[in-house]
Amino acid sequence: MDKILLNQMAFYGYHGLFSEENVLGQRFYVDVELMLDLKTSSRSDNMNDSIDYSKVYNVVKDIVEGKPKNLVEAIAEDIADELFRAFDLLEACRLRVTKPDPPIQGHYQSVGVEISRERQA
């Protein structure tokens, strides 16, 4: 399956279970893999036969910088749902939402989730 990749998109949002996350906010990184057939767009060289990366970025930005959620799982699911609504050519997607600086005690690089979804008929 062909893929379009958008990696390490950086946003600032107010998601989390702790009140300081909702007030102070924090960084979020999002990686998106979009699965679709790129044969037609590869040959036509026409954006109408593909998915516009800037529109994908804006879908993700609107969700991550939008209404606060408690869980990164909910952010990822909202992104997947909106991508399927916005892009008819999208067959499947894989998303990773990462919080590099959550207010959790301990030593780690980051926390996050990864989901894979397919278009439902």
Element (H, E) at 32: strand 26-35
Question: What are the helix and strand counts (H, E) for the chain?
Answer: 4, 4
Tokens of 54: 């800037």
- From the candidates 3, 55, 61, 99, give the one annotated as an active-site residue: 99
Q: Residues with Cβ < 8 Å from 60, sequence gap 6 or more?
A: 6, 9, 11, 30, 32, 79
Q: Residues with Cβ < 8 Å from 106, sequence gap 6 or more?
A: none
Residue 61 among the catalytic residues: no
In angstroms, the CA 6 to CA 113 distance is: 16
- Catalytic residue positions? 99
